[in-house]
Amino acid sequence: MKKKAIYPGTFDPVTLGHLDVIERGMKLFDEVIVGVTTNPNKKTLFTIDERIGLIKKSLGKKKGVKVKAFDSLLVDFAKKEKCKVIMKGLRELSDFTREFQHAIVNRKLRPEMETIMIMTNPKYFYVNSSIVKEVAGLKGPVEKFVPKHVEKALKEKLKKKKQINQR
């Protein structure tokens, strides 16, 4: 039986930190499913299809990784994918508190679920999608935080959003 893990998130946009966690997860599991979802507490810049496209382009033709959308409880998505492991990346202490709570709730909902935490590479511990969008929105450089194609997509999306807001 294949060892599988789901790496869930909104990935709005995918960052080099996310990609680092995916790469490291691919060394631990036969298959990593990047589960792209919506979060009612977050207003996304990119549509779910755009986010999936950006992730797929970032990953290229890597074997052992799939990118899928879901709009259900994570444990229900994991059950559908026949997966019992959730993989999460940790940047700093506040991530641990939130992710620990999620892990406990997921285990209460589906007792056979396990959550593993992967500590981020120290060079990405301060990177998150919100900061990337903020820096890009203020015309700051983001090439150290995201792949080139994501940087380009961010600039285009923010330019369109600005044009719409000026109408």
Active site residue 18: yes
How far lies 163's CA from each of 89, 120, 158, 166, in Å?
A: 35, 36, 9, 5
Element at 65 (helix H, strand E): strand 65-70
Active site residue 129: yes
Indicate the DSSP class of residue 54: H
Catalytic residue (one of 4, 88, 91, 133) = 91
Active site residue 42: yes
What are the structure tokens assigned to 116, written together?
A: 């593993």
Catalytic residue (one of 4, 58, 88, 129) = 129
Active site residue 72: no
Catalytic residue (one of 18, 51, 88, 133) = 18
Answer positive or negative: Cα dihedral of 82, 4, 101, 67.
negative
Amino acid of residue 89: G
Catalytic residue (one of 42, 123, 144, 160) = 42
Catalytic center residues = 18, 42, 91, 129
